[in-house]
Structure 1
Amino acid sequence: MAHEQSIGRSPGFAEHAYWALATDQLIGQLVTSASGLSSLKAASRRAKFGRNALTLGSGGSAMAVFVRQLRSALGLVIVFAAAVSGFVGEGHEAAIIGAIVLASCILSFTQEYGASRAMEALQERISRKAT
């Protein structure tokens, strides 16, 4: 099925982006009609491609979200720099670096944790049935 290629993923995709296509051209590429899919065709595509739904993944516990903030490459380098500063006797520099890392982690944590909870709340409120 040549028409089932991924729209918008080829070189120069902006020229072929679905929003830039004429309606007839888009309908042809999606192998459908202006009135939509028949029940049989919809069932066939659902069997082939799966449900058209977002996967609900847990953002993890609060501790997992916080630890994830430290696992970035930059975060690890900065924590290593703080450890080296403390090891060579520059305790005040290590404390300053540690405080900055902690503040950064707390800010990142509050943003990510709050966003994941907001996403879960929105997911609970959306309608799950199309008409």
Structure 2
Amino acid sequence: MRSGWKSLIAASAACVLMAASAACSSGDDRSQPDHGSTTKPQTSAAAALLEPATPAQIVDRFVQAGLPATDLHDVTDSECPEAHCMSAAQTAETTVMKFDHPRDTMMYYATHRGAFAIADIVISFSGDVDGDARKAYERQTTLAVR
């Protein structure tokens, strides 16, 4: 029985030593580029905040989730010059705006009570959207930009 424990302890110690040895000799020099890596290169903090989802894609997400999105139309030309957004889509229930800079997103959000903002997206709700529906729209927007 004792020899079984000794073997188990010796095998465990060998595994720990091999793992430590591999970690130490992996050549992980962060100053050297990893040409075989499939990870994306690091970007600036501002660029990392911007999401690729368009307002129309976010509205599509609403529809897929079973939320009302009546009469979708592009309102970029009418809304964005004043709002400083890069694109916008509107339904009878929501207006979804995408901004090209986090500062513009937060400035618009700060001046529009009742809006919801995440990353570079701001959602404004019509007066007909109740609290539970609003939470559902917010949840779907959050999922769309992650």
TM superposition score normalised by structure 1: 0.27
Relative to total residues, which structure has the larger strand share, 1 or 2?
A: 2
Which one has the bigger helix percentage? 1
Task: Return the TM-score normalized by structure 2.
Answer: 0.25
